[in-house]
Amino acid sequence: MTVDLEAGGALATAGLAAKAIDGHAEAGKAHATTCANCKAPLVGAYCHACGQVGHVHRSIGHMLEEGLHGVLHFDSKMWRTLPLLLARPGLLTRRYIDGQRVRYVAPLPLFLFTIFLMFFVLSYVGAGPKTVSQATPAQREQARVELVQEVDQAKADVERANRQIAESKDAEERVAATAELEEAQAELRAAEAVLSVFDKTTDAVNDPGKTTVVTADELKAMSRLDLDALESEVKSTGVFKHLAENPELMLYKFKNTAYKFSFMLIPISLPFLWLMFFWKRDVTTYDHMVFSMYSLSFMSIWFVVLVLLGQSSFTTRAIPYLLWLPPLHMFLQLKETYRLKFFSAFWRTIALLISSSTVFVLFIVMVGAIIAM
């Protein structure tokens, strides 16, 4: 993935989210006469009783601006928001939509915070030895055994290719065998280079007089290899195909990319919510966006709890009892946010569960496509 694409993922958050909003913006510039939050009469731009701005916006641009402010000013708002998010999500969503916002964390900064928290916990819980200096002696020995096996396999491939050249009966077979030999030799050079770097790194770790932190520049200096050229050779010849199949590497790439593009969950979710209410004129896409961000915030917190509980054999027993929370949370949020009756909220909950699975699959496919670029 290129640097431009990574930067675009961060910079395009506002633009892509804004495109998902159909323009249900501020209904004119008329100023309200009473505060939407506490109902006190307004005598200026701000309420003299609670401090909320008199004009309640309904546009994505103001939401982004409010989000940036909210990220830096959680303070007591968070402790008022979280209990409602967990126990009365529909009430929290409805209050925000209706303009009662001064007491609560806005949906966008809460979504960003919980997404960050979720990926932070995943990275911390799933963290293993990332460098030679962090690995145990047994882990280093096992790693070296695997690297030696790679070198031996590469040498065997070179010998086999040489035999094929010697036994080739015509020019066409010789050309094919020569191409295979060149690829095998490239694999051998790369395998020997990585083993050499590993040995030198291990020596640095074992020597108390040397630092145990090895940077990319230090690796390049020790191995005396042009790692950029080596990477190009890997791409062109298929060297170290096992790196592309390394599950730990792929998991790291996936988590990193998913975190950067997690904002895409919002616009992907909006069409499904719209389909459930498209005939209701009093329900806008803005309402769906607020609903989505608060709902995704809860799901992130719920997932963090599951991950943390899964770290202990004792607390793991509680996980099955928590699996019913997402559908219950969806039902409560739908019912109170959109003021639905029981049956209307029930069938929409089922539809939302199905659509959530679809959204998750689409997000996984999108992240996979970005990684493959």
pLDDT tens, 252-267?
777 778 888 888 899 9
Phi/psi zone of residue 39: left (φ > 0), alpha (ψ -120 to 50 degrees), beta? left
> How is the chain split among helix, strand and coil, in percent rounded to 5?
75, 0, 25
- 174-214 confidence digits (pLDDT tens): 888 888 888 888 777 777 777 776 776 666 656 655 544 44
- Domain ranges in the chain? 3-23+59-127+254-372, 31-57, 132-213
**What is the C-alpha to C-alpha distance for residues 99 and 88, in angstroms, rounded to an integer?**
17
HSE (side-chain half, CA atoms, 13 Å) at 18? 13
Residue 169 has φ and ψ, to the nearest 5°, of: -100, -20
254: left (phi over 0), alpha (psi -120 to 50) or beta: alpha
Spatial contact of 32 and 57, defined as CB atoms under 8 Å apart: no
Q: Which of 139, 149, 333, 324 shows the shortest CA–CA distance to 248?
A: 139
Give the DSSP H or E segment for 350.
Answer: helix 342-372
- Averaged over 91-101, what is the pLDDT? 93
**Which pair of structure tokens corresponds to residue 179?**
């191409």
Length of the chain, in residues: 373
Instruction: Output the six-digit token pair for 347.
Output: 């069938």
Q: What is the pLDDT of residues 320-363, one digit of tens each?
A: 888 899 999 999 999 999 999 999 999 999 999 999 999 988 99
d(Cα 265, Cα 115) in Å, to the nearest integer?
A: 11
